[in-house]
């Protein structure tokens, strides 16, 4: 079994934390993992993307071929659409639905939503609002990971939960619990 995942968003939104958690879960599960280096500005405001490949068999390349990604996990809609060429015909886009307008020529929001809605497999939600409802204002990335968890498949929800505990342990129990609340939020589907 294998899963090829494109992670994307804007620097400062928590995409790298999602990659770290998935990587931790894969390592704990004994699953092969390759991650391409992060491209883009990981500083707040720049676009960020990475290829993450998980498999029960050895992986020879860290790059996902065009039209082969099983899942695109994106913090915001424009970034998810930017990498559609990598998505397989059966693949799923899991994205935050509210734009992070960080450039002057950001596309029209209605057009973005229409393009997303035209995709055969898309899961989207206002992840910032869900995080606030969970009392985890900085946990939008964990809401997104919770939305994506069923589509990752090669790792169980419980394996991802355990990885969240490990990754955030040094920040204290309150931070771990806030992130788990966001990950477990029952309002994942728009």
125 token code pair: 């939600």
pLDDT at residue number 44: 57
**Alpha carbon 10 to its chain's center:** 12
Whole-number CA gyration radius for the chain: 15
pLDDT at residue number 188: 47
Name residue 2's beta-bridge partners: 55
22 token code pair: 């998935």
For the segment 44-69, the average pLDDT, to the nearest whole number, is: 90
71 token code pair: 């899942």
Name residue 54's beta-bridge partners: 3, 33
Which regions of 75-177 does DSSP assign to beta strands (E)?
87-96, 122-125
pLDDT at residue number 45: 60
69 token code pair: 């990604």
For the segment 156-182, the average pLDDT, to the nearest whole number, is: 96
Distance CA(91)–CA(126), nearest Å, equals 21
What residue ranges define each of the domains in the chain, with the CATH number in brackets? 2-95+110-183 (3.40.920.10)
51 token code pair: 């290829």
13-27 tens-digit pLDDT: 788 899 999 999 999
Parallel, antiparallel, or unpaired: how do β-strands 87-96 and 69-74 relate? parallel
Count CB neighbours of 11 within 10 A: 18
C-alpha atoms less than 13 angstroms from C-alpha of 47 in its C-beta half-sphere: 15
């Amino acid at each position: 079994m294998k899963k090829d995942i494109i992670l994307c968003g804007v620097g400062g939104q928590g995409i790298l934390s999602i990659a770290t958690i998935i990587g931790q879960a894969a390592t704990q599960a004994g699953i092969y993992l390759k991650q391409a280096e992060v491209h883009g500005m990981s500083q707040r405001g720049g676009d960020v993307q990475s290829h993450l490949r998980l498999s029960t068999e050895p992986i020879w390349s860290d790059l996902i071929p065009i039209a082969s990604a099983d899942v695109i996990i994106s913090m915001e809609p424009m970034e998810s659409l930017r990498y559609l060429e990598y998505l397989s015909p059966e693949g799923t886009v899991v994205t935050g639905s509210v734009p992070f307008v960080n450039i002057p020529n950001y596309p029209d929001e209605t057009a973005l939503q229409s393009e997303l809605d035209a995709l055969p497999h898309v899961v989207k939600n206002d992840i910032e609002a869900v995080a606030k409802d969970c009392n985890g204002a900085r946990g939008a990335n964990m809401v997104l990971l919770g939305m994506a968890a069923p589509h990752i498949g090669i790792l169980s929800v419980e394996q991802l939960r355990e990885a969240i505990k490990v990754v955030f342990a040094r920040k204290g129990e309150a931070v771990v619990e806030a992130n788990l609340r966001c990950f477990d939020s029952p309002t994942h589907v728009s």
